[in-house]
Amino acid sequence: MQKPTMATAKSLRSPLFIPFLLLASCLSSANGEKFKANVTIANGLAYGFYRYTCPQVEFIVRKYLMQVYRRDVGQAAGILRLHSHDCFVQGCDGSVLLDRSPERTELPNLSLRPQSFEIIETLRQIVHSQCGRVVSCSDLLTLAARDAVFFTGGLDYAVPLGRRDGVTFPRINQTFEDLVAPTAKTTEILTKFARKDLNLVDTVALSGAHSIGIAHCITFEERLFPDRDPTMEVSLFNSLRQVCPAPGATAPVWLDFRSPNRFDNLYYIDLMNRQGIFTSDQDLFEDPRTRPTVISFAANQRLFFRNFAIAMTKMGIVDVLTDGQGEIRGRCSMRNSDVNDLESVVEQDLGPSSSASI
């Protein structure tokens, strides 16, 4: 992938925010005290769910992710996005991880990072090798998203666990119905979030995930062509037109050029300066319903962090499967029945002589 470009001339560097010592302290606190949102969790979920079956699961996940983010801190944004795309479509059931699901091939998910899927599958292999098949892929994705926030400077918060993986595919075009497009205005955004029992404050807080990550020119070109979107600050427009010289350009740019790899509240300051990249971002400041929340988060990072953790906890329990529902996958990319069918086909192709030759 082409290296992202800063949205202004201030800096063209890609700063690695997380030094080794900070990563080490993050790892050592994996089982320490975490902020716990005052949220009613779904039946079947619990804090410390794997206390007896896989007590070190959070430490294992954090240890592996420490290595991942030391190599490439940009992967944190990819994991965070993968988690939200999973939860908004058919609930937090790991359906987005399934290779055969139409969810993977529909336009809103085509830009999900391939490395994100690989990271979750590697986590599954590590955890299952140490604990057996007791931790679901959807729980691993939830933990990885939490740690993506923490490792980039955000709040360390507790997440309830106990999800099971889905065995059904979303219907065709469900991603278009549930996910928020970068061109969406606030009314549409609030409506889609409300369907998931997420309120206005949750909506503005979760949008703060764009504090890290990148966008590609084609996803916001309607703000550049044929003329400048009047809600975009002029110097940002001029800079973006250099990176994205014509419609259809695919160059990457930072979503938050002030601190692109650090999870903080500067994203909201961007919006107040009319330097948001997506329409869906900038309109949160333009709309009088959400503007006060944007301003409050810009003024108080601690307030943003706490509300983000609350909103992530609420999003993470949307339509979850627990107890006897769903399954714990042996591969994150395949339902267990699909794995069994594949193995049966392989055995048939090998024929009866294969066992005799072993």
With a CB cutoff of 8 Å and minimum separation 6, the contacts of 54 are 127, 130, 131, 132, 134, 135
Cα(278)–Cα(262) distance, rounded to whole angstroms?
A: 19
83 labelled catalytic: no
Does a cis peptide bond (omega within 30 degrees of 0) precede residue 226?
yes
If one counts every other C-beta atom within 10 angstroms of the C-beta of residue 55, the result is 12
- Using CA atoms, how far residue 157 sits from 69, 145, 305, 309, 343, in Å, is 19, 11, 10, 6, 40
- Give the pair of three-digit tokens for residue 33: 């005290």
Strand partners, 157: 35
Angle at alpha carbon of residue 280, lines to 86 and 176, rounded to 5°? 40
If one counts every other C-beta atom within 10 angstroms of the C-beta of residue 299, the result is 13
Say which of 83, 85, 128, 216 is annotated catalytic: 85
With a CB cutoff of 8 Å and minimum separation 6, the contacts of 272 are 285, 294, 295, 298
In contact, 122 and 3? CB cutoff 8 Å? no
Q: Mind telling me the catalytic residues?
A: 85
